Structure 1
Amino acid sequence: MNTLKLKPLRNLLASAALLLSFAAANATELNIWVMSTTAQQQQDMKELLRPYLAKNPNLRVNVTVLNWESAWSKITAAAISGQGPDLLELGTTWVGAISSMGALEPLSLAQQKEVGTASVFYPAVWGTTHRFDDPKIYALPWYVDARVAYYRKDVFKKAGVNPKDAFTNWSSFKQAMQKINGQVIDGKKIAALGYPGKNDWNLVHNLAPWIWNAGGDLFTPDKKHSAINSPEALQAITYYTSFAAEGLVPSSSLEKNSEQIESGFFNGQYAVIFGGPDVLKRVNTPKAKGGQMETVAAHNLGIESYPAGLKGSQTLFSGSNLSIMKSSKNKDESWKLLAYLASRDSEITYSKMSGMLPARIDAATDPSLMADPNYADFIGRIKNGRHYASIASWAPLESVYLKNLGNMFDIVAGVKGKYSPQAIKQALDVTANEANDVLDSAN
């Protein structure tokens, strides 16, 4: 071949290689840490980011997936060392602590307006974007885990119980559970209610709505002392634990965790459970893919709000937020990516992947999601959402609550001591004393 004809081609290839080398040298690289929330988190994040990266060819995003069990220690280590990622996912209860360590970049009002400000998001989770005593915003809500009551319509019908009446208040709920307990479905007795005991990491989450609906809280109004042993909290926890003490919750369920209770609901063990949107994901997923779509429980699923206490019917909102670390060397690009992930379309897409609710109200009520009747019913039941106060010492405080409330469930199960309101009160007093030690050291 004529070498004179090859020369222009060689020059063209050399120029292309030079351009690619220049582009690579000028590409921005971002690191993001997220939790393992979906069944294939790494692949799902790749799909979620694909449209954004297609519009930003000079950007590279490295995704690290953390397990919830070890994430806290890794994130706090990164906060202390300043050697963390550019962006990271934080549980809604974690923002107060990590921002107090000076590890998060505050978001300006202009940035907040870019995504829609507080009014765009569920109020309960917007309150977790900053510490309760610091107005600076350090995160944007990404997804929500809220709770409702799931029940078996067929069981209620056989027992002659109207669900609307049953979930009206605490009194009607107890009476309904007494009527339903022991109903025989397909030759098998079904327990009225299922909830986990001391082996569930959600233990505080399980109790919080009942405490709030009795007019209580986990803290005093100034957030300086524990209120777990207040008369209102005692009333709520005594009511809650009475279902197990009276045999309306099987003693075996007190050894289980939330996931096992949910599986028991689909296996026909319980007529009622309280859970999050992950239950709906199971209902919409066939058994061949790990779901419960074909079960009798899925075909007879009903959804209700928490039965109202003296102070109404509130539910727990939790979930995750996204933040930029102060140590990031690429804050402008990090913000652009954060704004994309917290956008309406992205939150809808991630909701379909994860089964969690979008944190944006306009995304959560999108027609593509609301087309599922169960989902639409769920959204209608969580209008009164609430979250814990965002404090810096939540992590050690929650550990105290988990340990001591777990010990309390040994009393409920009859493993340690005799169950009584007095025994519950003593357990809550011990819990409050230890919690106050944590709060005193933080104040």
Structure 2
Amino acid sequence: MLRILAVAAVAVLTITGCARGDGETPQDVGYAPDRPPVTIDFWYMPSGGPLQDQVIAGEAAQFHAAHPNITVNPVRIVWEDALTRLSTASSSGEGPDVTQLGTTWVGGFSELGALRPYTAAEIAAVGGQSAFTAASWSSSHLIGSPDTTAMPWLVDIRALFYRTDVLAAAGIDPATAFATWESLEATLRRIHDAGGPVAPLAIGNENTFGIIHNVAPFVWSAGGDLLNASGTASRLAEPAAVDAVQYYQRLVARYNDPTVARMVNNDVPAAFAAGRGAVTIDSSQSVGDFLANPDRAGLRAGWSTAPLPAGRAGRFGFLGGSNLAILKDAAHPDAAFEWVRFLTGKQSQQRYAVSTGLWPARTEAVAGTKLETEPAYGAFREMIGHGRMYPSVAAWIVVESVIAKDFAELWHAPGELSRDEIQAILTRTSADIDDTLAAPGRTGIND
């Protein structure tokens, strides 16, 4: 079916002759300038504070200038309420025309039939699958489905942040400090043994969803996976996954700052900037924050970024973020597509990414921006090519909750756990995941 879509996309490009996907070029799809004026509702979930609200308003204004017959009404929805409100909207038919979706939500809402699939002509009009970061397209549809129901928009990619002064004091070369699992552990051990005032590691243990994002790359780099290829069974009890979780749990148990350990994931960047911890895992958004607000103890002393270490199966990074979906009951689906095309176009992607520190899903949007030239973004430029998303299964929301609940025992343990103890936890987790996947109709959205 993917080959059929590709052929259809090429055909549309041939017919229109100008499907550049830059968000501004008229096409034979979308909402023509001579059609009646309409207003579309757009739900978005801010993760960048007031600045993100301003950027959304600015994009809506620029879009209206280019499309005078379409007005965008941006509606701010906090992430904590978004799932419930979208569930209600999808069942009542009274939701927005376009909504932002967390990448892990796409499978569930697609399974419920809540989203309007993008046509082959529309996919071609935004540049096709190849225009976007390779891994991000895996979240554009329910696993095994030929329907593209969510267009990649923003990318959450993670890398290591570290204190350059702490490494220098311990005599550690940053060029090799984080290259492999072995060198990362050796680096943390040397920082610990140097006896300085800063703990080697700064990882928050209270937000277990954030921890999953940190652990998954180690599972992948060990040669393991969370689910099988079809998304029908857990692989967390397999030896490679046990190796990865044991490694990660050992680092946290031995080297983590005890104060940071009691924090939720979102509070860790500020703690690192204030001087807690020599090494942490964080997203590209913190680069912009650290550059804009450098007068904090941990930043004044010197900081930089590095890719996550490679394991025996290679280097991997968690890739998350947000997609754009048109609801099946959208009042103005053609106008809604124009807004999606605009937001996923190169110019809007560049403005949005540069303003908020989020990574654009559109590959070409990095060129010519500080994401391409600023050294502190270098680790993220490398990690984007190693990014991998969670499988887009209908029940992923429930699966993630199961992992978060069962893994809490790992992070709240009083010390380092044995392999047998970790194996027992992962065996139980796998059984819980398999029960979830076997239950018909489980999506975690309206359960």
Q: The TM-score by the shorter chain falls in which range?
A: 0.7 to 0.9
Q: Give, as a single letter, the amino acid of the residue that structure 2 aligns with 1:433.
A: A
Gaps of 5+ in 2: 1-34, 442-447
Task: Report the equivalent of 2:96.
Answer: 85
- Distance in 2, matches of 1:421 and 1:251, equals 23
Task: Show the 5 A alignment for 1:372-383.
Answer: 372-383=374-385
Aligned mate of 1:279, from 281, 286, 289: 286
Q: Give, as a single letter, the amino acid of the residue that structure 2 aligns with 1:128.
A: S
The 3 A distance-change label for structure 1 pair 129 and 299 is farther
Count residues in correspondence: 406
- Post-superposition shift, 1:377? 4.4
Matched, 1:29 2:39: yes
Aligned mate of 1:237, from 237, 245, 268: 245
The 3 A distance-change label for structure 1 pair 376 and 176 is closer
The 3 A distance-change label for structure 1 pair 146 and 197 is same
Task: Report the equivalent of 2:432.
Answer: 434
Aligned mate of 1:222, from 227, 230, 233: 230
Q: Give, as a single letter, the amino acid of the residue that structure 2 aligns with 1:422.
A: D
Task: Report the equivalent of 2:407.
Answer: 405
- Distance in 1, matches of 2:371 and 2:401, equals 36
- Show CA shifts across 1:389-421 (max 9, x none): 11110111111111111133222x35xxx8322
3-state SS in 2 of match to 1:89: strand
Gaps of 5+ in 1: 1-24, 287-291
Task: Report the equivalent of 2:122.
Answer: 111
- Distance in 2, matches of 1:261 and 1:370, equals 26
- Post-superposition shift, 1:168? 2.0
The 3 A distance-change label for structure 1 pair 347 and 262 is same
- Distance in 1, matches of 2:76 and 2:295, equals 28
Task: Report the equivalent of 1:202.
Answer: 210
- Distance in 2, matches of 1:200 and 1:348, equals 32
3-state SS in 1 of match to 2:256: coil
3-state SS in 1 of match to 2:255: coil
Aligned CA-pair RMSD: 1.9
The 3 A distance-change label for structure 1 pair 281 and 295 is farther
- Distance in 1, matches of 2:311 and 2:371, equals 31
Aligned mate of 1:55, from 63, 66, 84: 66
Matched, 1:45 2:56: yes
- Distance in 1, matches of 2:324 and 2:248, equals 34
Q: Give, as a single letter, the amino acid of the residue that structure 2 aligns with 1:340.
A: F
- Post-superposition shift, 1:208? 0.5
- Post-superposition shift, 1:368? 4.7
Task: Report the equivalent of 1:352.
Answer: 354
Q: Give, as a single letter, the amino acid of the residue that structure 2 aligns with 1:441.
A: A
Task: Report the equivalent of 1:191.
Answer: 199
Matched, 1:266 2:273: yes
Residues 273 and 290, structure 2, Cα contact 8 Å, conserved in 1: no
- Distance in 2, matches of 1:165 and 1:26, equals 61
- Post-superposition shift, 1:375? 2.1
3-state SS in 2 of match to 1:165: coil
The 3 A distance-change label for structure 1 pair 55 and 169 is closer
Residues 82 and 103, structure 1, Cα contact 8 Å, conserved in 2: no
Aligned mate of 1:95, from 106, 109, 129: 106
Q: Give, as a single letter, the amino acid of the residue that structure 2 aligns with 1:280.
A: V
The 3 A distance-change label for structure 1 pair 173 and 211 is same
